[in-house]
Structure 1
Amino acid sequence: MSKSSSGKWVAEQALSILRSYPLCDSCLGRCFAKIGHGYLNQDRGKSIKLSLILEIDRKIKEHELGNLEEVKEILFNIGELGKPLFLHYFREEFQRRSCYLCNDTLTQVKEDFFSKALSILKERPLRYVLGVRLSPRTQELETTFAMNNALLYYESMKAEIRREVGKRLGEQGYEPEMDNPEAELVYDVDSRTVEVIRKSQRSLYLYTRLSRGVPISSWYSRGGDSLEREVERKIIVPFTEPSDVRILDPYPLIIEDYDEERKEVLGYTLVKGPTLGKREYNLVIQTKPSTRVYRVTFYSQDRIGHEIYGGIQDLILEGRSQEEVLEKIREMELELISVDLLRTEGRHQRIRALLTGKE
């Protein structure tokens, strides 16, 4: 059947699910959350259930159903909305079944998270995002359910809780800050508590390096000096040069929870830029120089570059990376002394200027 006849397709999918699982309105609606923009999953689920009830009643009246026992199971799994039709056709007690996924707690969870988060934000306003912690059992149950039923348009329980609680908080004047949050308010569904987890602040720094042999990362220092060890903060490096290359054109660094406006240490000069939100961070991380220009100092008895003293010469070479430049040096069979990065070209320069306000 073509999915273009979406109404019929959704009804068939929902009927297939409700043959096997009792689901509350929200959990059924979440199975189709990514189609039909702008509605709550609770509304989706309720409307789907009502359409199924109408169709089941029509089929009973038209004598299209031979086995009414299957109808009983579907109405039990639909829940309270299915009760009136069940009592109309069957002289039995209606079975109340808890939701297979949330155990009928989802509405309470969202209300509790909202009230506790609102209380926290009123006491100390924060730039925040929301997080949800489910038990491992619930996470496994939900993942298995979605996979076994091939639910392409499924939304996770975590996502629904975050989205709906965030919307309600926004309506109260406390809009979530997705791009540059100070903290994450994490709701633990089992304990019904909210934990405030401070987020690391990522600041852009521009650096030059006049030293040789002092790496940025402690990982490469082999017990010696490193910039990371000196500043005692986590450093994220979008791109760099080997530690024996001096860097004269400002390169970017991202340092977490560091607030020095200017720092000179171990041959590095650090100049602080702005705090980075998620979008700016991704821009800096993903954008590399297209061209790098180096001054290569070498020894050769042949006159190749600008001679400094007794066969020691300088030569300006450019390439996409230092490796490309070193390959040129090997091909020229030069005796390498040192390499300095002079400048870079590419889109990263425009991004740097945009973020720092400096060309």
Structure 2
Amino acid sequence: MDLKTKAVEILSEHFLCDNCLGRNFASLLSGYSNKERGKAIRMFLAMLIDSGEKLKINESNFYGIKFREIKMKQSKSSKCYLCKNIFDKFPQIAKKIASEMSKYQHETFLLGTNPPNEIMNRESEFWEKYGIEWSESINTEINRELGKEIWKITDKEMDRKKPDITVLYDFNKNKISLSVRSVFVYGKYQKFSRIPQTNWKTRIYKNSVQSYIEKPLLKQTLGEKTSFHGEGREDVDVRCFGWRPFVIEILNPRKRKIDLKKTRIEINKSKHVKVKDLKIVDRSFIKILKSRKPDKTYRAVVIFEKPIENVEKLKSLENAIIQQQTPVRVLRRRVDKIRKRCVRKIKYKLLGKKKLELVIQSQSGLYIKELIHGDNGRTIPNVAELLNNKVKKIELDVLKIHEK
């Protein structure tokens, strides 16, 4: 079917606005809106009629056009058959959306819509009758044209890859929903107190590494809350003197610009947590962080049940492969399996008859407490077994995280 024949056929029964007429020829020519295409086709058909050609077209499609050679009884149609003049409402809708967007600091946005159900159903029936050659969906045009109206008001650019704000407008419910892209801050922390890395739902621990770091960030961004992503984690009762990389995610931030120097100074006022190397990153950095498996060096101060003897036996642990079944204390959240991990180096120093200091460099993933007390035989070999001495207490610290 050629262009003229199709245009005449779709205008034969109903009035279509310029947008809906032009949308049926959306893939023809570039750099033009559907409204411009529709207007051009309408004028072309009007010229054919004015030149004397007989075309069966609903006369309301030519309302307002001045014919020179013929007389046509023109009547104004109240609404477009397909869209019911939905495009005329866009300036008003765009103002409402822009008003909601203005509550959040942003430079880019992306718009999605849920068009009226009756319009989508009518378009489906229309396509079945007239075909979809050269056409595009009204949903696509609504998103594009409403997006242009928002751009005119806000002067903010559309971004399909990483928009600061994603807007969903539901025409059926007249509802605006905003999804604000999180802000991600990378850094490294030290933990000087025996507190958890992340916030606990229970109030056993009032503070955590996360709570100390998030406080100035939430204050600056007016964010809703944070999510903390560490390159591994130490136990609640373990201090971390090595610098552990992390990414903290600020959810639903109303402000996106952060003074990271001010943030670092504010966090470092605490005697519990210190940070450095703060910078803004994107979400993909979390995956990179989680994929890293650096060696770590620990210091453990261990108190045994009996006086310590034959401490030189611990030399056998250096470069040893440890067979470690999932520790009992983490079975509820870890798969029960045997892991093989290497002890790179071990140093020891007697601090008393029953007190021993150990400095251990190990492969990532080795549970150090279990390496020391044996976990009832689930970790082999282990310190307690080699010394034939039961462990009563362990104080553990991370001394270094060996970043490559």
Shorter-chain TM-score bucket reads 0.5 to 0.7
8 Å CA contact 2:110, 2:163 repeated in 1: no
Provide the secondary structure at the position in 2 that maps to 1:307. strand
**What residue number does 1:241 align with?**
232
Provide the secondary structure at the position in 1 that maps to 2:293. strand
Q: How far apart, CA to CA, are the structure 1 residues paired with 2:402 and 2:284?
A: 20
**What residue number does 1:316 align with?**
362
Q: How far apart, CA to CA, are the structure 1 residues paired with 2:287 and 2:83?
A: 40
8 Å CA contact 1:306, 1:313 repeated in 2: yes
- From 247, 250, 254, the equivalent of 1:252 is 247
Post-superposition CA distance 1:263-317 (Å, at most 9, x none): 145843345845x5xxx53454564465421226599953323232569562332
For the pair 1:268 / 2:273, whether they are aligned, the reply is yes
**What residue number does 2:197 align with?**
215
Q: How far apart, CA to CA, are the structure 2 residues paired with 1:227 and 1:22?
A: 65
TM-superposed deviation, 1:141: 3.5
Provide the secondary structure at the position in 2 that maps to 1:46. helix
> Residues 296 and 160 of structure 1: is their aligned pair in 2 closer, same or farther, counting only changes over 3 Å?
same
> Residues 13 and 269 of structure 1: is their aligned pair in 2 closer, same or farther, counting only changes over 3 Å?
farther
> Which is higher, the Rg of structure 1 or of structure 2?
2
Show the 5 A alignment for 1:100-115: 100=81, 102-104=83-85, 106-107=87-88, 109-110=90-91, 113=94
Q: How far apart, CA to CA, are the structure 2 residues paired with 1:79 and 1:282?
A: 53
8 Å CA contact 1:109, 1:189 repeated in 2: no
Q: How far apart, CA to CA, are the structure 2 residues paired with 1:235 and 1:103?
A: 44
**What residue number does 2:204 align with?**
224
For the pair 1:176 / 2:156, whether they are aligned, the reply is yes
> Residues 141 and 311 of structure 1: is their aligned pair in 2 closer, same or farther, counting only changes over 3 Å?
same
Aligned AA for 2:293? R
Q: How far apart, CA to CA, are the structure 2 residues paired with 1:342 and 1:11?
A: 73
> Residues 251 and 129 of structure 1: is their aligned pair in 2 closer, same or farther, counting only changes over 3 Å?
closer
> Structure 2 length as normaliser, TM-score?
0.50
**What residue number does 2:380 align with?**
333
**What residue number does 2:221 align with?**
none
Post-superposition CA distance 1:31-53 (Å, at most 9, x none): 66577442223112223444566
**What residue number does 1:293 align with?**
294
* Bigger proportion of residues as helix: 1
8 Å CA contact 1:240, 1:251 repeated in 2: yes
Provide the secondary structure at the position in 2 that maps to 1:248. strand
Q: How far apart, CA to CA, are the structure 1 residues paired with 2:57 and 2:157?
A: 47
> Residues 238 and 142 of structure 1: is their aligned pair in 2 closer, same or farther, counting only changes over 3 Å?
farther
TM-superposed deviation, 1:144: 4.0
For the pair 1:307 / 2:347, whether they are aligned, the reply is yes
For the pair 1:25 / 2:18, whether they are aligned, the reply is yes
Provide the secondary structure at the position in 1 that maps to 2:363. strand
**What residue number does 1:161 align with?**
146
Where do 5+ consecutive residues of structure 2 fail to align? Answer: 219-224, 303-312, 319-344, 350-355, 372-376, 384-393
TM-superposed deviation, 1:214: 0.7
TM-superposed deviation, 1:243: 4.8
**What residue number does 1:357 align with?**
none
CA RMSD of aligned residues (A): 5.9
Post-superposition CA distance 1:48-78 (Å, at most 9, x none): 44456678999965xxxxxx8xx345x55x4
> Structure 1 length as normaliser, TM-score?
0.55
**What residue number does 1:45 align with?**
38
8 Å CA contact 2:228, 2:246 repeated in 1: no
> Residues 17 and 307 of structure 1: is their aligned pair in 2 closer, same or farther, counting only changes over 3 Å?
farther
TM-superposed deviation, 1:241: 1.9
Q: How far apart, CA to CA, are the structure 2 residues paired with 1:334 and 1:53?
A: 92
Post-superposition CA distance 1:136-171 (Å, at most 9, x none): 7x53344445666466565242431222452x45xx
Where do 5+ consecutive residues of structure 1 fail to align? Answer: 2-7, 62-67, 346-359
Q: How far apart, CA to CA, are the structure 2 residues paired with 1:332 and 1:17?
A: 78
8 Å CA contact 1:212, 1:243 repeated in 2: no
Count of matched residue pairs:
302
Q: How far apart, CA to CA, are the structure 1 residues paired with 2:53 and 2:267?
A: 80
Q: How far apart, CA to CA, are the structure 1 residues paired with 2:8 and 2:209?
A: 61
Aligned AA for 1:303? L
Q: Percent identity?
A: 17
> Residues 249 and 242 of structure 1: is their aligned pair in 2 closer, same or farther, counting only changes over 3 Å?
closer
**What residue number does 2:401 align with?**
342
Provide the secondary structure at the position in 2 that maps to 1:292. coil
TM-superposed deviation, 1:110: 2.7
Q: How far apart, CA to CA, are the structure 1 residues paired with 2:143 and 2:293?
A: 45
Q: How far apart, CA to CA, are the structure 2 residues paired with 1:239 and 1:143?
A: 46
